[in-house]
Amino acid sequence: MIQRHDSLIVSILGRGLIPVTQLFGLYVLFSGQQGPGGGFVGGVILATSMLLSLLIFGTDASQSRLAHRALHGDGVGLLLFVFVGGLCMIGGGEVLNYAALEIPGLDVAARRYLGIVLTQIGVALDVAVTGVSIVFSLSASNGDSHA
């Protein structure tokens, strides 16, 4: 149960900083192929943006509703990763052999590129939701209800 921080400067800065952090997290996730970055860092930065709203505005505020809604997606990232592996098996190859994905109009190298992008999104979702979930667990006190 985290209370709202009572400084005006922190609230105003937070209102500007949280969307910028989320945008940066998405940028780092999708530019993981061309430069440093990738699924893990993108996921942790997205978790940090939701955590900022929890710490600045409190657990019950309307700005933290995204963090509460994100908890419903626990395990979706892992399911996405396994789903991509299953699609590769349906296409005729082994598990997670992206060259066997059945997408018309793409050659083998582009199929592997697409496979890497999909699994990175899965990893980022999983890491982000787990980060927020651990923060909720650590800040819950006795008799607290999860909205």
Partner 1 sequence: MTFAFEIPLLVLLILTAASAMLVKDLVSSVFILGSYSFFLALVWAWLGAVDVAFVEAVVGAGLATVLFLLTLFGTNPKDTRLRRPPTPWAAIVGLPLLGLLLMYGANDLPEFGDPASPASTHVSPTYLANSLQDTLTPNVVTSVLMDYRSFDTLIETAVIFTAGVACALLLRRDQG
Partner 2 sequence: MLELVGAWLLRPNVVAFVILFLSGFYIMVTHHNLIKKVIGLYILQTSVIFFLVAVSAKTGATVPILLPGANPVDVALYANPLPHVLTLTAIVVQVATLGVSLALAAAIYRQYGSLDEDEVGKRLE
Task: Quote the CA–CA distance of 130 and 136 in Å, as a whole number.
Answer: 10
Least Å distance between CB 134 and partner 2?
Answer: 4
Which token pair is 6?
């009572």
| Angle ∠(145,14,132) on CA atoms, nearest 5 | 40
Q: How many CB atoms lie within 10 A of CB 129?
A: 24
Tell me, by CB under 8 A, how many residues bind partner 2.
11
49 binds, among partner 2, partner 1, none (CB under 5 to 8 A by kind): none
Confirm or reject binding of residue 72 to partner 1 (CB under 8 A).
Answer: no
Q: How far is CA 24 from CA 12, 46, 133, 135, in A?
A: 19, 8, 21, 21
Count of CB atoms situated within 10 Å of the CB of 66: 15
Stretch that binds partner 1, among 12-20, 57-65, 127-135 (CB under 8 A): 127-135
Binding site for partner 2 (CB under 8 A): 34-36, 40, 44, 127, 130, 134, 137-138, 142
Binding site for partner 1 (CB under 8 A): 32-41, 44-45, 47-48, 51, 55, 74-75, 77-78, 81-82, 85, 96, 98, 108-110, 112-113, 115-116, 119-120, 122-123, 126-127, 129-131, 133-146
